[in-house]
Chain A
Amino acid sequence: MASASTNDIEFRSVTKNYGPVTAVKDINLNVPKGAFLALLGPSGCGKTTCLRMIGGFEQPSEGAVLIDGREMNGVPAYRRPVNMVFQHYALFPHFNVEQNVAYGLKQMRPRIAAGDIDRRVAEALEMVRLDGFAKRRIYEMSGGQQQRVALARALVNRPSVLLLDEPLAALDKKLRSAMQIELQTLQRDLGITFVLVTHDQEEALSMADIVCVMSAGRIRQLGAPQEVYDHPADLFVADFVGKTNRIEAKLEAGGATLRLADGSAIPASKPVATDEAIVAIRPEAIRLSRERVANGASFQGVVTHRIFLGSSAEYAVNVPGLGDFLVTADRSTMNESDLVAPGDAVFLGFDPAAAHVFPASTA
């Protein structure tokens, strides 16, 4: 197919209404060829609606979705050059593995020779490491294997875009991590655009090279995973992508100083145009120690809980006047003397430059 565009997918002012409910509101989005985009957000944020509009299962109420430069309004799902890996896979229960994978090829016009279908199905099954399972019934396969069948079934058609709707949600944690790596490798090898819908920020950050954070039908932030994590555009993104501690503050000295609820003050990392602000700080940006740290912000508190995670630990620390803080401590960077237990009095310290300041009105 001749490339008409450098973008595989484009949303132009797309709005989708279901009766009085607006699921997606005025979305503009470009997905370059070969990108791995993750649509990330809580349930009901519109991410799945966007995916379904690419797949052709929904039509935009306003605006247009373009695939490879072609406007897709009114084009039914079966005429679109995209394939989808469905949530819970949607494999055909009355077909075996091989028949499931061959289904798309058999729909193609002009017809593909039977021999070519067999060859391509075999290749696809090999690609997802299911060679030898061709004759298996779907219900004889484990969840992970079904996932691979779904992947092979979609990829065997050589789509220009692969859509993945929460593809890993039904897998256990270990299998999920393995599949994350596998999907990433596959995407790189095939060089086709992947669009992943997920509510799991870890999944989005680890696999995608563009993360699109959505909420209430709108895009809140679009960017590389690291950028989204390190520089959240707003408090919602800060909260949803990764964990965040919030501190209420008032701006003083023309916005240069933040007066915290306990009366202490820290310098603002960037100017904020309102009087009331929220300071957001990542748990891993906070240092935990028995002694007060000289530079940066420092607060005294009491450890209330400790969650041991193996290589790291999470602590809940109550700071009088400011509330509860979540602190993640990597064991490899901790001194033995800093290992604290519930009931211990500790000091929390962080670099004010690592804290994000948002207007309180966005909270």
Chain B
Amino acid sequence: MTLTAQVKKRLVTIALVAPASLWLFVFLVLPFIAIIVFAFGERGPVGGYQPAFTFEQFANLGARAAAFVNTLVLAPIGAAACLLVAYPVAYYLAIKASPQRRLLLVSLVVVPFWTSLLVRTYAWMYILGARGIPHLLEYIGFDNVRLLNTPGAVLLGIVYGYLPLMIMPIYVSLEKLDRRLLEASADLGAHPISTFFGVTLPLSLPGVMTGIALVTILLLGEYLIPQLLGGGKVFFIGNALVDLFLQSRNWPFGSAIAVTLVAVVVVVLLVAMRIAWRIAGTRQVDLV
């Protein structure tokens, strides 16, 4: 009887896990294996893939060093900018807002996800474009101001696009924060600023790290925002991949870059988790 119960339990587990596993295997694991195989191959005479076993593609990664550098600089800066904007919002939502207002505001944070990022980024193209804000500036005497396709526009687009992903995990970790800890800190003589840095911030770090990891990882593959709001003048790994697969059809080199990017993502994740674990104490961490 216990055996059948066990078997039943196992079957239920399998039934629950199977669809997701199958999906991931077919659409994530298999393509990734293909990419790894490609990465050790050669470009065909007119593009595409030609079987081979060579490290040539990886040896050539230096040719896209600028893309890696740009990406590895943009991703943390973008994540940091998101964090700077998101933390006060999350703090207000979780700690300061009244419960009725909180529900409304939290929904507003999520609402932008109802439309695609592409559409929203296009909207920004028009807001920042010559018929948008610069047009209004003409009325107060500033002619031909250019906002679109500047680094500031890219940063704005990134902060705008990824803000909810940063706000939500921080909000959740601040919302879980026991308010009595803040009172205890004040009771023990800590100025509100000391309380923030000594108690609130460290205890919200799991949320902060989740947000940073989430935004950083997505930014490592970002293509759309720099393309639309930056005019494609800054070259990221995403751009390099698009060019290699769709324009110059150098699949093996593109694959090698993709594999390297995945490796970078894994390293970033591990480091982020390690830091969060260390700071927040072992029980608190619920990263990703």
Contacts and interface: CB of A to CB of B under 8 A. Distances in A.
B162 to A, nearest CB: 27
Interface residues of B, number: 25
A157 B184 contact: no
A57 B182 CA distance: 10
Nearest to B180: A90
Contact of B203 (A79, A94, A108, A157): A94
A76 B190 CA distance: 10
B181 A76 contact: no
Contacts of A78: 185-192, 195
Contacts, number: 76
B210 to A, nearest CB: 16
Contacts of A55: 183, 187
* Chain B interface mostly: helix
Given A90-B180, A92-B181, A94-B280, A108 B187 contact: no
B281 A93 contact: yes
Nearest to B198: A103
B284 interface: yes
A363 B136 CA distance: 74
Contacts of B181: 90, 92-93
B202 interface: yes
B42 to A, nearest CB: 53
A86 B183 contact: yes
Contacts of A77: 183, 186-187
Contact of A103 (B178, B183, B188, B202): B188
Contact of A108 (B184, B186, B189, B198): B189
Given A86-B180, A107-B190, A94 B185 contact: no
Nearest to A76: B186
A12 interface: no
Interface in B183-236: 183-192, 194-195, 198-199, 202-203
Contact of A107 (B183, B189, B202, B283): B189
Interface string B254-288: 00000000000000000000000001111110000
Contacts of A86: 180, 183-184, 187
Contacts of A83: 187-188
